[in-house]
Structure 1
Amino acid sequence: MKVLYLDCFSGISGDMLLAALIDLGVPLSVFEEVIAQLGIPVEIKGTAVYKKGIRASRAVLAEQAGQPVERSYHQLQEIVTRSSLPPQISTKVEGALLRLAQAEAEAHGVEVEKVHFHELGGLDTLVDLAGAFAGVSYLGVEQVCASPLPLARGTIMTQHGLLPLPTPATLNLLKGAPTYGVSIEGELVTPTGAVLVTTLAGSFGPPPAARWEKFGYGAGTKELPQPNLLRLWLGESLAHKEDRDLPALAFDQDLVLVLETQVDDVNPEFLPYLRMQLEKEGAIDVAFIPTMMKKGRPGIIVSILSPPDRLSSLARILFRESTAIGLRWYQAGRIKLFRTSVEVETPFGSIPVKLGYALRPDGSREYLNLAPEYEACARRALETGRSIKEVYRAALKAADGLEPPAE
């Protein structure tokens, strides 16, 4: 089974995806045919460029003179409806275009009918969408995965004025997708890039198990401190057939730091205080793990889960409040269930229950875990004089078969 991995280390836009597909080996004629099927006055060219010493392709779209500077959502939908695009492509384009319009409408507080597209009068959006879907189809790809998406800060001038980055429409399109912040100013993920990656990718995370055969690099127009490239990996999946038959699920993901040190001479009475200070400074979690150190001495591994921006402050507390004189740290990825909660009624009173879920490719939820809130169970047990086990079991029973909250 052919698998395509979207390595979005510098973000993603429509033209970067087209360029990466060209670099991967999709002939320019595939995109020219898409333009002809759409019946629009646009030309596409592919050129070779270099970004920080890496050779890549760039896709350049040019519109014939005398075209409108903007088109409404319905005007673009009408172009797709009249086109001769294959049904499997036109259906995806219509769906993605609707999501784009809905995201813009929500961001600016207008009806979908009043949304307008400005770049090349909106025609470049059609080429980006139809070209991407046609290019992936040409490669015979059956599974698409993507990396978590980097989000930068700053502002961008638009037809609506100066907007913060990521733009509100982009954020609307990335609901449920794993992202992480980077210290770069500029637009890394565009609305078109956001709708394409969330439409194409069945899952987000590290590259899946595969035998990789080809790689393609698509260049963005901006100059960044790092190579402004989208990298595509094309290969043959190594997943077992029974795994491939399961629907791909998207999980919540992020990046954290792990700080660790080993001590054999700390007063154990000080450890709860150390944990309290670390958590107060922003540590996500703190664990004390028994270990055997040099010379057969029993010791403790202090393991701290930290947000990416708390390394120095947490290290300072660790050195100040323990006998550690050094630590090791490294970056780690986390895969998590998305979370929500509901209140359930029990003979002991109402108790909140946490629900963990993943997202199916169609955006619906698959609930995989549930757990009553401990503090609420303990409070009810004290109030009623019953054991916490009874209260916990009652909450689980009440939650069994519960209708999940509206999505």
Structure 2
Amino acid sequence: MVGAADFPDRMARRVRDTFEALAAVEGRLHGIPPDDVHFHEVGAIDSIVDVVGTCAALEVLDIDEVGSTSVATGTGSVESAHGTIPVPAPATSALLAGAPIHGTDVAAELTTPTGAALLAATVTAWGSMPAMVVEATGHGAGDRDLDGRPNVTRVVVGTLGESTATSESDRGPGRGSGQLMEVLEVNVDDATGEALAHALARCLEAGARDAWVTPIVMKKGRPAHVVVLCAIRPT
């Protein structure tokens, strides 16, 4: 049904990636190929609407990259087609492998496998909110009452790479630049000083913002060098 829909390419890819992530995890948990997975709760119409609606919103807002803070999973247990399972559900935990998550004192499932699959398929950066120029903020509220906290999700839309400095004193290196730096480090042994110097020169010519070599001692007392490259992350 979803595959036959006439979606824009980027939206179709996000929808496909979400359901493929779900199928891969469910297949691994059940020991069957992803193509043989039969979705229970996830196959419900409301879950399809959740996935397609979220990806449609990202498309309408023209979102290139998605970031997320640590994901709250909740605690306790929930009823599923397979009986009572702990929170987070096994599929949720598997889908969020490598992502920062945290439990709460709310005895409820705060992140479902569908939500986890959307995050796994769309999020490109995890962590706190980056330096950005905010363009819009939206809030979505659920109809379930949670003890001691609002059942609300917030989304902030903005542009990375724009200066957020408010004065000239804020415009020093690393302050108010609104740019994210990527650092690549590699340990190199059995390389001459001439070869390392040539490599650094070529990296700088290729666009690295900075590059340097630091002498180190590796295991068994072998002399070596750490080659470090810095570049601005593309936005």
What whole-Å deviation, never above 9, does each CA across 1:98-126 have from its counterpart, x for those lacking one? Answer: 11011122223333233222348533333
- 8 Å CA contact 2:21–2:121 kept in 1: the answer is no
Mapped partners of 2:60, 2:219: distance in 1: 57
The answer to whether 1:205 aligns with 2:127 is: yes
The answer to whether 1:229 aligns with 2:152 is: yes
TM-score (norm 1): 0.40
Mapped partners of 2:85, 2:113: distance in 1: 13
Superposition deviation, residue 198 in structure 1: 2.4
Structure 2 unaligned runs (5+)?
A: 164-176, 183-215, 228-235
Q: State which of 97, 119, 122 in structure 1 corresponds to 2:19.
A: 97
Mapped partners of 1:177, 1:227: distance in 2: 24
1:147 matched to which residue of 2?
69
The answer to whether 1:173 aligns with 2:1 is: no
Mapped partners of 2:224, 2:144: distance in 1: 53
Q: State which of 113, 126, 130 in structure 1 corresponds to 2:52.
A: 130
Mapped partners of 1:155, 1:230: distance in 2: 22
Aligned length: 181
Superposition deviation, residue 396 in structure 1: 5.9
* Secondary structure in 1 matching 2:74: strand
Mapped partners of 1:143, 1:88: distance in 2: 12
Superposition deviation, residue 168 in structure 1: 0.3
1:162 matched to which residue of 2?
84
Mapped partners of 1:188, 1:140: distance in 2: 27
Mapped partners of 1:81, 1:177: distance in 2: 28
How has the CA–CA distance of structure 1 residues 91 and 140 changed in structure 2, closer, same or farther, with 3 Å as cutoff? closer
Superposition deviation, residue 213 in structure 1: 3.4
Q: State which of 217, 222, 228 in structure 2 corresponds to 1:394.
A: 222
* Secondary structure in 2 matching 1:184: coil
Matches within 5 A, 1:4-23: none
Amino acid at match of 2:80: T
What whole-Å deviation, never above 9, does each CA across 1:308-351 have from its counterpart, x for those lacking one? Answer: xxxxxxxxxxxxxxxxxxxxxxxxxxxxxxxxxxxxxxxxxxxx
Mapped partners of 1:396, 1:224: distance in 2: 56
* Secondary structure in 1 matching 2:137: strand
- 8 Å CA contact 1:148–1:179 kept in 2: the answer is yes
- 8 Å CA contact 1:93–1:126 kept in 2: the answer is no
The answer to which structure has the higher strand fraction is 1
- 8 Å CA contact 1:145–1:203 kept in 2: the answer is yes
Mapped partners of 1:390, 1:88: distance in 2: 45
Mapped partners of 1:242, 1:231: distance in 2: 21
Structure 1 unaligned runs (5+)?
A: 1-78, 248-371, 373-388, 401-407
Mapped partners of 2:30, 2:71: distance in 1: 24
The answer to whether 1:80 aligns with 2:32 is: no
How has the CA–CA distance of structure 1 residues 152 and 87 changed in structure 2, closer, same or farther, with 3 Å as cutoff? same
- 8 Å CA contact 1:148–1:180 kept in 2: the answer is yes
How has the CA–CA distance of structure 1 residues 98 and 138 changed in structure 2, closer, same or farther, with 3 Å as cutoff? same
TM-score (norm 2): 0.66
1:194 matched to which residue of 2?
116
- 8 Å CA contact 2:131–2:178 kept in 1: the answer is no
Matches within 5 A, 1:3-402: 79-119=1-41, 121-225=43-147, 226-239=149-162, 243=179, 391-394=219-222
Structure whose alpha-carbon radius of gyration is higher: 1
* Secondary structure in 2 matching 1:81: coil
How has the CA–CA distance of structure 1 residues 393 and 134 changed in structure 2, closer, same or farther, with 3 Å as cutoff? farther
1:37 matched to which residue of 2?
none
What whole-Å deviation, never above 9, does each CA across 1:338-394 have from its counterpart, x for those lacking one? Answer: xxxxxxxxxxxxxxxxxxxxxxxxxxxxxxxxxx9xxxxxxxxxxxxxxxx574542
- 8 Å CA contact 1:166–1:187 kept in 2: the answer is yes
Between the two proteins, what is the percent identity of the paired residues?
31
Mapped partners of 2:224, 2:90: distance in 1: 39
Mapped partners of 2:116, 2:223: distance in 1: 40
Mapped partners of 2:54, 2:83: distance in 1: 29
If asked which structure has higher relative contact order (CA below 8 Å, sep 6+), I would say: 1
2:174 matched to which residue of 1?
none
* Secondary structure in 2 matching 1:212: strand
1:275 matched to which residue of 2?
none
Mapped partners of 1:121, 1:198: distance in 2: 18
